[in-house]
Structure formats: structure tokens, C-alpha cells
Amino acid sequence: MNEVIVSMENICKTFPGVKALDHVNFELRSGEVMALLGENGAGKSTLMKVLSGVYTRDDGSLKIFGKEYGDLMPKQAQEVGVAIIHQELNMCRHLSVAENMFLGREIRGRFALNNAKMEQEAKRILDDLKIDIDPKETVGELPVSKQQMVEIAKALSINAKILIMDEPTSSLTAREIEDLFRIIRKLKSEGKGIVYISHRLEELQHIVDRVTIMRDGQYITSMNFGDVTMEQIISHMVGREIKEKFPRVECQKGKKVFEVKNLNAGKMVRNINFSVYAGEIVGFAGLMGAGRTETTRAIFGVDPKESGEIYVDDRKIEIKCPVDAIRNGVVLAPEDRKKDGLCTKLSIRHNLTLPNLDIVCNKLGVVDSKKEDALCEKAVADLKIKTPDVEVDSGNLSGGNQQKVVVGKWLARDSRVVIFDEPTRGIDVGAKVEIYNLMNELKKQGIAVMFVSSEMPEVMGIADRIIVMCDGRITGEVMARDTTQNEILTLATTFEDKKINAQSGKEEI
Amino acid sequence: MNNKSPIKKLLAVKGMGAALTGFAGLIIIYIAFGLINPAVFSSNNILNLLRSMSKYLLIGIAQSYVLITGNIDLSIGSMVAMSAMISATLMTLGTNPFLAVTVALLCCLVIGVINGILVGKFKLPPFIATLSTMFVGRGIAYMVNNNRNTDAIATGVGKETGDAFQNFFYYGTTAGIYNTFWIAIIMFIIFFFLLSKTRTGRHIYAIGSNIDAAKLSGVNVVATTTKTYLVSAVCSWVVGLILCAQAGMGNMEAGNMYEMYGVAAGVIGGVSPLGGTGILLGTLAGAAVWQTLENGLNMIGAQVGIQRLVIGIIVVVAVLLDIVLRSGQFSKKKKG
């Protein structure tokens, strides 16, 4: 047990113009979970791509199970037992669990595929992991957490001994994370080596044995997790002390800016009432699937409302589509930046200007490039977007900078209400703090800030007042200053009594 | 970022790379044919080339607008035929040419609106929606004159008016260059400006890149999608009039396969059928490459079969080249 199974020394990799890896060392032992930490763009993914054979290194030595590999090919890496569980799951949504697990190495009978055998084999692996999934189910119909487990099962079915998990918990609920950790612990006990990449530092303590920290393509250090404090880890990652993980500014609470009354939209938004005052940030906490994102979408007019009134500055407004919302000063920075937030094929400039074309265009709808330049320069400077210039495709930016573009495009407007849905998901500590500062800035300007987040410490650290949702309803409201994680969690799991639920459901019909 | 030289700024425009590659290819092809047959360089040939290129430029613009939103318009050829048949039929009946072409325009616009609503509002796959309007449009082109091509337009409106119509769209020249080219180039400038400098243009790119993000940024998807199909309808209408003027009559089969020529012109010039990328300058290069090839192959005596074959290969080569160039660019920007 605990022999060194991966040893990478002085790994260098240069892309034209960028030194992505600069003499990086990395070591993984069997039966351990090694956290690979660093800000976005630190080179974690590149290093793991070298390990899995996707990239060939320029220099350095790479040993897997003691054997030196020159040019490691992806296929070779797979055969040795290296498997990556991707952040964005790589699954054929329309195929069944078993079909996905055996994709590319289907078991054939004499004439046709032997489905029974594949399903049997898949079932065996899933049972072994104590995962309750029917191999016949279609992958696209499973929740993300289950899909991820299928992917892990798939990796194990090809006899993986080194598992690389890239942000595995970013879209899981607390309970699902617990499930995942159980599986990770089991794999660990079987002597597999696990590389764990995550921005959620709080969760490391549950599973991690050692950490390796990278910054700007360089190896910083490796340590036993037990020997370091969170603050030390963060300062290694960022290269400077982050004084406050959650900077908070105190403001005088002003008059009511935003009010939502009796909002109903489908199952996940039921009878929502709340208001936001000038000078405060209202956090929305809850478990995944509590209806918070649905609420923001209904407010913003993306999804249709069944009923509900929305007031901005005591004036009732009608929002039927996002255009109405924007015109009335209500804007939304959506949850999933790749899907809803960003036109990745377009430049930063085009993205930043897209919702602000009414500002930068003249009466004939012609873009005034001077106004546009000014708007873009201001956004880049205000948000500290790291880019050589604004013509770069936004898809080429790191996650944190992409998020800044998604947020930044709304700040050029004189908005009254800004809704942030999970604005810090999957971005690094430094960028997170910049997003918080930005929200604080809006708060100071008297703009109503609605802040949806699934990360408890973050909501408690940044929001002034926290509204907790569960199952499409608001189940409680607490002041951030005098609440506890437990209190919030209790509210977040206050499900309605199923019987009452069923009755009221009937009455409504 | 303002202290860059104008040339650098020009090169920084997205899609310019593919367009310039297209123009470079154009020059190489043109010179190569010229070396085989010097008649390619004659001023007469250049004038003809510019004129025949114009049609492809216009349908290229039509298809590019739609492709950039990530959709496709298969009804272009049918709208061309409708335009030619409706205006010719009306003129053979003695209708004033202005009225005749206006009616043809309205009919094309109706098809454009239907396309826009089916795709934008009802979310039909654009391939299916415009496939159906393609058949409908062609059917109408057939029905207009009872399943026959029309007689010469001069029989209805008189020789003088007929000639004037034909000269305006095809045979006449202004400043030594055929009117057809001027019409196409003016429309090119207008639509180039619309796509690159206006609000609508930005919306078109945004929809093609990420329709959900566009919607959440306040883009009216239905209206913008419809606008692209209307641009397509207007360009097809003009091409129909050009073909009508060229033949002096309406042909039911006019514009056959033009939608695909439009795709080819766009794609050669770097317009991605996946949406979100490409500029009209590229389409101009694409249309020019296309016509220069056809013209050059003609001039060196290649047969139609060979012409088609070569053009087919060129489309693939252009796209492959684009992928290779872009992947090179991509690895430069890649981060860890």
C-alpha cells in the first residue's frame, strides 16, 4: 500500500506564447486522495492532460507505476489505468447506462451486440459501488449526480487505477456530495489513487490526504493536508494574503427598491413573496433544486409566470420577457455561464455590448464605436478582466474571467435590481473576492442585489439577509449576522408534509 | 487598445482571416487560369466575370445572414424562381414593370416571414421549415403561368420597356461596368454595414453563438430570426429579377440549387454553418472564388462535369484549411 504510482518531475509544456507548465512536480500514491489546487489558469488541467496523454510534454519525466513513458498516448494512458472524470460530463445522453459504460468496447455475441451481458456486467460494477441505478435507464434522464457516478463506474469498468476528478461536486447537492465521498473513500480503500481538483476548499477536509498547489503554471508545494491551515493553502494558491475571504461592507438600509408578490410559476416557484431594500444584499440559500434559479428566471421573464406582481421603486411593472425586465432596470446574471450567460464564439466586446446596444447605438441602430470602446474599457478595468484586449473570444478566457464578462455586461446600465445566480461557481478564490466586491459596490450605490448561492459560507459572509427556499417555497428568512449553518440547513430541508401537499394540490386543480 | 495601427485593427476583426485567405486563394486561382489561357485576363472576360459573380454574391449574402444565426434557408432558389416567374408573367400581361417587381417582392417577403416564424417562433428545425417553403415556392413558380415558362416580357410591356428592364438588371452598363455588378455591390455594402455596424447585426451573431444567452441579454429572437430570412428573401428577389432580365422571360427552373451555391459561397469565405462566425467580406471572396473557378474552367475548356467536381473539392479544401488555421490559432491562446 501507499507506493508511489505516479511521479511527474520537471514537467514543462509550452503553447505558442504561453508557458503553461514550468518545471512542475507531481506525485500520487496508491490509496490516497491528492487535491490539486490552484486558481483558474494555474495549469492544473494541463498537467492532468499530460498525465492522461492528451498533451505531450516538452520536457520532464513521467513515471506511472514505476515505468517511464516517453510520448504517452491517450489510449496508452487508459490501458495503464488513468481515467479522467470530466467537469462537463462526457456521456451520450440518449443511450442507456450500460451502453454508455461499454461505448467503444461493446460486448458482441455471434451476430449482434450482447446487451444482456453488458447490462449484467454494468449492474455488477454499479452494485459493487452501491450505486442504485438501473443499467437500462437512459443517461439523459438521470440527475447530474447519477450521471457522474455512471462515469466513475465506466472508468472502473476499464480497470482504472488512477482517477482524476475535475470539479466533481460543482453541481451536486449536499446529499449527493456525501454519496460521492462515500464512493471516493471506497476507491481509496481499494488502493486506487485519486486526483481531486476542486475550488470548494471547505469540502477537502472530508476526503483529502495530501495537497499539491500550483500557481501560474508553476509548482508551488505539496503538503500533508493535516499539516496546513486553510489560510496557508489559500495564500499559496493566490500568491498573496487574502485578508478577507468574504469582504463585507456595512450600509444604511434604505427604502424598498424591489418587491415580488405572490409569484407562481410551475412546480418550483410557489407563492414567492419578498422584497429587497436599498443598501442590502439578499441571499437566497437552499439545496440544489429548491426553485431558486426557477424563481430568478420567472422574475426575469425567461419562463412564463402563472401569477405574481413585481414592483420596482414602488412602481408595478409587467415583465413578459427579458426585454421588459431590462427596460425596467431588472437584470439577471444567470447560473450556467456556458449555456445562458456567454456567447463563447463572440469577442469580449460583443458580449459586453450585447444587452447595452440601446446605449451605444444611435437612433438608427448604428453602433457608435467610441461609446462602445468606452463602455468596454470601463468594464474591463472595473472588473479587472484579465485579457490582452477586448477582441479576444470570450470562450478562450478562464472561468473566472468569463464570469466577470457575464456580470460585467449588466453593470454598464443604470439598473435598479441585479440578480446574481451562483455567480462564483467554479471560479477561483481571487475572482470570487472580486465578484463579492462588485456586489458590495452595487449595494453601496443603493441597488437591490439578489444573490442566489448554494455555498453556505458565501451566503452567510456576503448577504445581509438570507431567504431560504425549499421545494419551490420560501421556508424562512434569517439575518446573516445572527444565524447558523444549521438553522439555514434546517429551513432548507423543511419539506411540506406530503399529505398536505397532495391535498392542496388537488384543491388547486 | 486604441494605439494599434489600422492594419492590425483590420486583422483583428473576427472572420477577417478566413476572408483574406479566400481573397488570396482567389488571386492564385485567377492567375493560374490566366497563365493557361491569357484570355482570362482580357477586360471583356473581367466584365463578364464581375457580372456573373453578382448573382452568387447576392445569394451568398442571403444564405450567410441565415447561416450566421445557425439556421439555413433552403427556399432561396424557389424564391428566385418565384421572383422571376411572377414578375415575368405580370409583364407579359402588360403590367407596369414597377408594379410587377413589387408584387414579386411582396411574395418573396411572405415566404421570408413564414420561414422566420416557423423557425424563430415555432422552433421548427430550419432545415425542415425551409424545405417545405422550398417546395411551396417552387410550386407557386410553376403555377403562376400554368406550368409553362412565360413568353418574352416584351410581348406584354412592349419592346422599349422590355429592353429598358433587361438593360437595367443585366445588359446595360454604368461607368463601363455591367449594372448587375453595381446592384450587387450596392446591396453588399448595405448588408455589410447592417451586419457589422448595427444593433440588428450584433443580435444576429449573438443568436448564432448562443441563443439562450442572447435571449437572456434581451435579444428578440423571433424578430431577429425573421429579419435574416427577410434579407434572404430580398436578395433572392433581386437575383430572380436579374435572371428574368437575362433571359427576357420567366423560367420555372430559375434558381435551381441556388440555396446550395449560397452555402458554398459563404462557407468558402469562412461563414460557419454552425452559426456565430463569418463576415460578408468572406462571402464576397467566396462568391468570387466560385465564379472565377467556373469561368476559368470554362476558359480552359473543361466540361461541366469537371467544373462541378472541382468546385466540390474546393468547398471541402476551404473548410479544412479554415479548421487547420483556426486550430493553430486556438492552441496559441490555450491556457492551462
Q: How far is A408 from chain B (nearest CA, A)?
A: 12
Task: Report pLDDT for A101.
Answer: 87
Query: B333 — contact with chain A (CB < 8 Å)?
Result: yes
Q: State in Å, rounded, how far the first CA of chain A is from the last one.
A: 62
pLDDT value for B334: 36
Counting other chains too, the contacts that A463-467 makes at CB distance below 8 Å and 24 or more residues apart are A463/A281, A463/A282, A463/A283, A464/A253, A464/A280, A464/A281, A464/A282, A464/A283, A465/A280, A465/A281, A465/A282, A465/A283, A466/A282, A466/A283, A466/A284, A466/A285, A467/A274, A467/A282, A467/A283, A467/A284, A467/A285
pLDDT in tens, B303-313: 888 888 988 89
Q: What is the pLDDT of residues B132-158, one digit of tens each?
A: 999 999 999 999 999 999 999 999 999
In 3D, which of B226, B185, B234, B186 has the Cα closest to residue B203? B226
Give the pLDDT of residue A243.
64
Q: Cell triple for residue A54?
A: 492528451
Confidence of residue B70 (pLDDT cuts 50, 70, 90): very high
∠ Cα B72 B76 B79 (to 5°): 145
Whether pLDDT at B335 is above 50: no
Q: What confidence tens digit (pLDDT) does each residue in B257-287 have? A: 999 999 999 999 989 888 888 999 999 999 9
Question: What Rg, from alpha-carbon coordinates, does chain A have?
Answer: 25
pLDDT of residue B336 exceeding 60, the answer is no
Is there a contact between A347 and B220 if contact means CB atoms under 8 Å apart? no
Mind listing the pLDDT tens digit for each residue in B205-224?
999 999 999 999 999 999 99
Query: Any CB–CB contact under 8 A between B214 and chain A?
Result: yes
Long-range contacts of A174-179 (CB under 8 A, 24+ apart): A174/A287, A174/A489, A175/A287, A176/A143, A176/A145, A176/A288, A177/A203, A179/A145, A179/A149
Q: Is residue B128 scored above 70 in pLDDT?
A: yes
Query: B216 and chain A: CB distance < 8 Å anywhere?
Result: yes
Task: Answer whether residue B38 shows pLDDT above 70.
Answer: yes
E-strand spans in chain B? 173-174, 177-178
| Tens of each residue's pLDDT in chain A, 509 residues | 578 999 999 999 887 666 789 899 999 999 999 999 887 668 888 899 899 888 888 889 999 998 888 888 888 888 899 998 876 667 888 889 998 888 877 888 878 888 888 899 899 988 888 888 899 989 888 887 888 888 888 888 888 899 999 888 877 777 888 888 998 999 999 999 999 998 778 888 889 999 999 988 889 999 999 888 888 888 888 776 666 778 888 888 899 999 999 999 988 899 999 999 999 999 999 877 789 999 999 999 999 999 999 999 999 999 999 999 999 999 999 988 888 889 988 999 999 999 999 889 988 889 998 999 999 999 898 888 888 888 888 888 877 888 899 998 998 888 899 999 999 887 878 888 889 999 999 999 999 999 999 888 889 999 999 999 988 999 999 999 888 888 888 888 877 654 444 444 443 33
Which residue out of A346, A386, A391, A409 would a mutagenesis test of the B interface target, given it has the greatest number of B Cβ atoms within 10 Å? A346
Cβ neighbours of B205 in A, within 8 Å: 343, 346, 350
Mutate to test the interface with B, among A13, A340, A377 (most CBs of B within 10 A): A340
A chain contacts of residue B206, beta-carbon cutoff 8 Å: 343, 346, 350, 354
Q: Which residues of A are less than 8 Å from B12 in CB distance?
A: 389, 391
Res B163 pLDDT > 80: yes
B35: which residues sit within 8 A by CB, 6+ positions away?
none
CA distance, residue A427 to nearest chain B CA (Å): 14
Nearest CA in chain A to B1: A389
pLDDT at B11 over 50: yes
Q: What is the pLDDT of residue A17?
A: 61
What CA–CA distance (Å, rounded) separates A201 from A179?
18
- Distance between CA atoms of residues B254 and B267, nearest Å: 23
Task: Quote the pLDDT of residue A244.
Answer: 72
Number of cross-chain residue pairs from A and B with Cβ atoms under 8 Å apart: 121
Give me the pLDDT at residue A452, please: 94
* pLDDT class of B254 with cuts at 50, 70, 90: very high
Q: Can you give the pLDDT at residue A331?
A: 94
**A256 CA to centre of own chain:** 32
| Three-state SS at A282 | strand
Kindly determine whether residue B198 and residue A18, on different chains, have CB atoms separated by under 8 Å: no
Beta bridge partners of A392: none
β-strand partners of A284: A452, A467
CB-facing half-sphere around the CA of A390: CA atoms within 13 A: 24
> Of B331 and A199, which is predicted with more confidence?
A199
Could you say which residues from 263 to 292 on chain B have a Cβ atom under 8 Å away from some Cβ of chain A?
275-277
Per-residue pLDDT, B273: 87
Among the partner-chain residues A16, A43, A334, the one whose CB lies closest to the CB of B332 is A16
Tell if the CB–CB gap between A346 and B217 is shorter than 8 Å. no
Q: Which residues pair with A210 in a beta bridge?
A: A34, A224
Residue A350 is nearest to which of B198, B202, B275, comparing CB atoms? B202
pLDDT at site A507: 39
Q: Which residues of B touch A399 (CB under 8 A)?
A: none
Bridging pattern class, strands A330-333 and A417-421? parallel
pLDDT of residue A504: 44
Q: How far is A144 from chain B (nearest CA, A)?
A: 20
User: Cβ A366–B331 below 8 Å, yes or no?
Assistant: no
**Biggest alpha carbon–alpha carbon distance for chain A:** 77
Rounded to the nearest angstrom, the minimum Cα separation between A78 and chain B is: 21
